[in-house]
Amino acid sequence: MRIGELSARTGVPAATIKYYVREGLLSGGERRGHNQVEYGEEHVRRLRLVRAMVEVGSVPIAKVREVLTEIEDPRRDLDSTLGVASRALSQHKVPAEEPAAVDVETAKAIVRGRGWNAVPLEHGYVWTLADAIGRLRELGLGDMVDMTGEYARAAEIVAEFDLALLQMRSDRDEILEAMVVGTVLGDAIFEALRRIAQVEVSSRVYPPAQRESVQDEEDSSTGE
Amino acid sequence: MRIGELSARTGVPAATIKYYVREGLLSGGERRGHNQVEYGEEHVRRLRLVRAMVEVGSVPIAKVREVLTEIEDPRRDLDSTLGVASRALSQHKVPAEEPAAVDVETAKAIVRGRGWNAVPLEHGYVWTLADAIGRLRELGLGDMVDMTGEYARAAEIVAEFDLALLQMRSDRDEILEAMVVGTVLGDAIFEALRRIAQVEVSSRVYPPAQRESVQDEEDSSTGE
């Protein structure tokens, strides 16, 4: 197909497609004579993958390229790619400073308390967890730390489904793509569901008279 | 305390504190004669709150100001503030275009299927959910939509704890602060726990020989 059709099928403007090709996010089409370039189904698919990262995950172009490079590197094994992509797509930074020992201990206790014995306790995300716990403590919100056990239970439900999805695929490229999409769209879906659930749960907590104003507020912002 | 002590206690450089005051994120200290400005405990607390948003949530300064303005507006009732702050702190954008009708139906079915009957189906996050579902479908990953029921179950666990935390407080300012912190740090904690759980679950799925390389990969990136 020509670039016009590729643009129509993916909703990505032709100028943006050319920009993605220049930036190395998309291979160029096949040249078929003067001023005629042919694109295929693989371009449609790749563009949708790039769009999911850029539009839904707000992933910067440089990060998108990094993730795609990882995906396409045939020397990498599947599970190390999982780690690299998951970190590249993370919305939250790994803390710059070492968290306080007391918070690292709490984080480790949460991980082991959940029966997660295969996870190395030096894992970068254990630090991220410890850092967030330390900030709660500093803000005098230490009681929020108690909730992380429930968060861990919910996280396990989500992770089991993340992995089940990968297992449903056998082709390497399919698995990697599902991983990236699952991380970006899975985060967006979970965030949306959490906010929706908050509205639901708060309707049980707050009296109906007050609830009206929340609904008005939410309604008026639809399509913001 | 002087600005030097405020800086030492919060880990925020004096120049950054002055910048936050200029940007309206922090009230100025009390002037006590020439070149002497006195800060109090409320400045320590506010700076930690701003830091949590900026450093952990990567919330832009303009958004931080927007959230703080909401929090401080005495005319707002609690639950409409909850909606406003939750949207301002959202990592994912509400979709610009109306999602396809078929995806909106799927999203509504997920919400009602979970027994969430108080949530208005015109809620902005139902659109966000529908948008993500549509992208999965376009990418031929429709089977991932089936997992959202499990995601919804996990989201409800998280939301119940989000609200339980608010109920533990009676002071309006405390509730609002807990809401902001709970959203930003709660997101960070959940994301970290999800990644940790993925490592745990993948250790059950992939054979130990392959697992070694994941651990090496993760270990070497600690403190990144």
The residue-averaged pLDDT of B171-190 equals: 77
In a domain, A112, yes or no: yes
Q: Residues 98-157, chain A: which have Cβ within 8 Å of B?
A: 98, 110-111, 114, 116-120, 122-129, 131-133, 135-136, 138-141, 143-144, 147-148, 150-157
- pLDDT at position A221, please? 45
Bridge partners of B38, per DSSP, are B30
Do residue B210 and residue A51 have CB atoms under 8 angstroms apart?
Answer: no
A109 and A25 co-located in one domain: no
- pLDDT at position A210, please? 46
A45 and A133 co-located in one domain: no
In a domain, A211, yes or no: yes
Assess whether pLDDT exceeds 50 at residue A69. Answer: yes
A184 and A122 co-located in one domain: yes
A131 and A212 co-located in one domain: yes
- Residue B108 confidence class, pLDDT cut points 50, 70, 90: very high
Classify residue A140 as left (phi > 0), alpha (psi -120 to 50) or beta: left
| Contact residues for A44 (Cβ-Cβ < 8 A; gap 6+) | A6, A9, A10
- pLDDT at position A212, please? 44
- Residue A211 confidence class, pLDDT cut points 50, 70, 90: very low
- In the block, tokens 């029921």 appear at B149
A79 and chain B in contact, CB less than 8 A: yes
In a domain, A14, yes or no: yes
- pLDDT at position A19, please? 94
The residue-averaged pLDDT of B170-192 equals: 78
Out of B122, B191, B222, the one facing A122 most closely (by C-beta) is B222
Question: Ranked by mean pLDDT, which of A99-103, A198-202, A214-218, B84-88 comes out on top?
Answer: A99-103
| Separation between Cα atoms, residue A127 and residue B193, nearest integer Å | 11
pLDDT in tens, A154-172: 888 888 877 777 777 777 7
Q: What is the mean pLDDT of chain A?
A: 79
- pLDDT at position B79, please? 65
In a domain, A69, yes or no: no
Domain that holds residue B124: 92-166
- Write out chain B residues lying below 8 Å of A83, CB-based: 199, 214, 217-218, 221
In a domain, B184, yes or no: no
Out of B120, B163, B223, the one facing A127 most closely (by C-beta) is B223
- pLDDT at position A92, please? 59
B42 and chain A in contact, CB less than 8 A: no
A49 and A111 co-located in one domain: no
- pLDDT at position B171, please? 74
Tell me which of A34-38, B110-114, B170-174 is least confident: B170-174
What percentage of residues in chain B have a pLDDT greater than 90? 16
Q: Residues 171-190, chain B: which have Cβ within 8 Å of A?
A: 177-178, 181-182, 185-190
What percentage of residues in chain B have a pLDDT greater than 70? 83
- pLDDT at position B11, please? 86
Residue A116, token pair as written in the block:
């997660």
In a domain, A86, yes or no: no
B46 and B98 co-located in one domain: no
- pLDDT at position A206, please? 66
A105 and A43 co-located in one domain: no
Tell me which of A107-111, A159-163, B106-110, B155-159 is least confident: A159-163
Do residue A144 and residue B128 have CB atoms under 8 angstroms apart?
Answer: no
- Residue B22 confidence class, pLDDT cut points 50, 70, 90: very high
| Separation between Cα atoms, residue B218 and residue B211, nearest integer Å | 11
The residue-averaged pLDDT of B96-118 equals: 88
In a domain, A87, yes or no: no
Which is nearest to B154 in space by CA: A156, A10, A207, A18? Answer: A156
pLDDT in tens, B202-221: 777 765 554 444 444 444 44
pLDDT in tens, B188-202: 888 888 888 888 887
A63 and chain B in contact, CB less than 8 A: no
- Write out chain B residues lying below 8 Å of A198, CB-based: 82, 86, 159, 162-163
- pLDDT at position A38, please? 92
pLDDT in tens, B59-90: 888 888 888 887 777 776 666 666 666 767 76
Which is nearest to A148 in space by CA: A119, A110, A115, A195? Answer: A110
- pLDDT at position B146, please? 74
In a domain, A81, yes or no: no
Cβ atoms of A218 and B123 closer than 8 Å = yes
A44 and A123 co-located in one domain: no
| Contact residues for B120 (Cβ-Cβ < 8 A; gap 6+) | A199, A215, A218, A219
- Residue A207 confidence class, pLDDT cut points 50, 70, 90: low
Distance of CA A27 to the CA centre of its chain: 24
- Write out chain B residues lying below 8 Å of A194, CB-based: 155, 158-159, 162, 190
Assess whether pLDDT exceeds 70 at residue B181. Answer: yes
Please give the tally of structural domains in chain B: 2
Domain boundary among A56, A71, A92: A56
Assess whether pLDDT exceeds 80 at residue B40. Answer: yes
